[in-house]
Amino acid sequence: MAVDLQLHKQDCQMTERGCTPKDPLTLITEDHVRAALRTDKGDDAQLSSFTTSDCVEKGDNMATVVTRVQVFFQQSGQQNQVSYVVKINPCRDGPLFEVFNQMVFDKEVDFYTKIAPELSSVLTAVGHDKIRVPRLVNFCMQPLNELIFLEDLKAREFKMYDRYKGQDEPHVKLVMQELARLHASSYVLQTRLLKRNLTDKYLSLKEDWLNLSGEHKQMLTNMMAGNYDNTAVMLRKIGGYEKVAKWIEENAQNCLDIMQKQITCIPPFEVLCHGDCWNNNMLFRYNDDGTPAEVMLLDHQISRVASPGTDLSYFLFTSVSSDIRRPNLDSFLTCYYSTFSSVIQAGGAEMPFSMSELRQEFRDKMAYGLMFSLMILPFLVTDPADGPGAEDIVAKDTKAKLEVWRERHFTDDMLKNPLVRTRFLDTLDDMVEAGVIS
């Protein structure tokens, strides 16, 4: 979408007066783009114009609106262009969304401006690369108008792995290593704070959507329970999974309590976790032969101090198919442990847990991976153009919308999709075998 700067400035006047716009893209003003450009390219960079375009598919992002901004500018007598990825307040109505939006933007800006630089300092001091995250360019934290400008990793040839396939062994090991670097550098940083905790140093880490209470908690529970109810209906239609369907139906209204219990910190398993670690929140860069060379972790908007087992379980059960996960699980955990211990030892700290203790902690946190698998995986067996979008899932009539979608898409043809088995049912089999579902 091309943007006429004068008309766009008029469109944004309602936003400046405190009115929530219908289109989140109107939050991106000329002043915001100019500020991002000068921060990135220098004060002599003169904005000419900018356009916006989609940079994610339907279903790729739920918490915020994400768009690509192509910026055209003059510098040193030359016409140039650069692109940024911009995360925008989705402008959804209701007190729950105001609280949630403020929380996720607070956490992400805090991560990029304060936490990531310190983690990178820990890593570079022991001979590692900086933490692998996009570069923050600029941000606006005006209530109801929040924006975050990030570098466009597409310019460096990063791209998302096909979420339908499930990641293969080389991709998984890159992710395990980067999670280990994130977790371990935060642990080393924690040891240097003496009697203070990371949550004392970074107050945004005290905020957590799983700690909502009262009306906000009930609203969020109802939205998530609608997804779980759909999954139970799907399983009864498939047949043979009545036990799992019954477990889901009995626990749908307790979903937040189950997840909150899983993130409760019990020493020595206390590290900074990504919190939303699955395929859509990471991008990969590839070598000339097609092998993955580097991974970037995105969307640090619900980061928290918790057990590393929560990140590992979430990732391995939502983003890896059973034929890869089952035979390689111990290898993946060993890969994680090796990188984690290398950072810990180089940082002068003592290893907080053994390999066998990590294996047990992973098993103890499988319920966290289960709860997200039950929400995410059923949508992976449908075409993204047909699946429910963010606005459907967070709508006031969520349950009715999901029921319509269920009747339309939970067909016999869909249930024959091989992804139903490899990406979803096999995961449930693992959960039943491990006693998570009983």
Residue boundaries of the structural domains of the chain: 2-91, 96-134+160-433
Query: In degrees, to the nearest 5, what angle opens at C-alpha 134 toward C-alphas 133 and 136?
Result: 120
The confidence score (pLDDT) of residue 383 equals: 60
Please check the confidence at residue 8 and state whether its pLDDT lies above 90.
no
Please check the confidence at residue 4 and state whether its pLDDT lies above 80.
no
The confidence score (pLDDT) of residue 5 equals: 40
Please check the confidence at residue 298 and state whether its pLDDT lies above 60.
yes
How far is residue 308's CA from residue 184's CA, in Å, rounded to a whole number?
10
Q: How confident is the model at residue 397 (pLDDT cuts 50, 70, 90)?
A: low
C-alpha 219: how far from chain center? 21
Please give the mean pLDDT across all residues of the chain. Answer: 88
32-37 own/partner pairs: CB under 8 Å, 24+ apart: 32/138, 32/140, 32/147, 32/149, 33/69, 33/71, 35/138, 36/71, 36/84, 36/137, 36/138, 36/149, 37/71, 37/73, 37/82
Residue-wise pLDDT for 50-93, tens only, equals: 999 887 665 555 678 999 999 999 999 999 999 999 999 998 87
Question: What's the CATH fold of domain 96-134+160-433?
Answer: Aminoglycoside 3'-phosphotransferase; Chain: A, domain 2 (3.90.1200)
The confidence score (pLDDT) of residue 12 equals: 41
Q: How confident is the model at residue 19 (pLDDT cuts 50, 70, 90)?
A: very low
Q: What percent of the chain has pLDDT over 70?
A: 86
Q: How confident is the model at residue 275 (pLDDT cuts 50, 70, 90)?
A: very high
The confidence score (pLDDT) of residue 166 equals: 92
Instruction: Provide CATH code, domain 2-91.
Output: 3.10.450
| 103 phi and psi angles, rounded to 5 deg | -65, -50
Residue-wise pLDDT for 172-215, tens only, equals: 999 999 999 999 999 999 999 877 789 999 999 999 999 999 99
Residue-wise pLDDT for 374-387, tens only, equals: 988 887 776 655 55
The confidence score (pLDDT) of residue 3 equals: 41
Same CATH fold assignment for domains 2-91 and 96-134+160-433: no
Residue-wise pLDDT for 64-73, tens only, equals: 899 999 999 9
Instruction: Name, in order, each residue with C-beta under 8 angstroms of 437's C-beta and a sequence gap of 6 or more.
Output: 243, 244, 247, 370, 428, 431
Least confident of 235-249, 294-308, 408-422: 408-422
The confidence score (pLDDT) of residue 1 equals: 44
Instruction: Name, in order, each residue with C-beta under 8 angstroms of 46's C-beta and a sequence gap of 6 or more.
Output: 73, 74, 75
Rounded average pLDDT over 25-36 = 95
Q: For residue 77, how many other CB atoms are within 10 A of its CB?
A: 5
The confidence score (pLDDT) of residue 405 equals: 61
Amino acid present at 262 = Q
Please answer whether residues 198 and 189 qualify as being in contact, where contact means their C-beta atoms are separated by less than 8 angstroms: yes
| 172 phi and psi angles, rounded to 5 deg | -60, -45
Least confident of 95-109, 130-144, 288-302: 95-109
Q: How confident is the model at residue 356 (pLDDT cuts 50, 70, 90)?
A: very high
Residue-wise pLDDT for 309-321, tens only, equals: 999 999 999 999 9
Rounded average pLDDT over 310-335 = 97
The confidence score (pLDDT) of residue 82 equals: 98
> How many Cα atoms sit within 13 Å of 149 on the Cβ side?
24
Characterize 329-345 residue by residue with b for buried, 16 or more Cβ atoms within 10 angstroms of its Cβ, and e for exposed.
beebbbbbbebbbbbbe
**Coil, strand or helix at 272:** strand
The confidence score (pLDDT) of residue 94 equals: 78
Please check the confidence at residue 391 and state whether its pLDDT lies above 90.
no
284 bridge partner residues? 159, 295
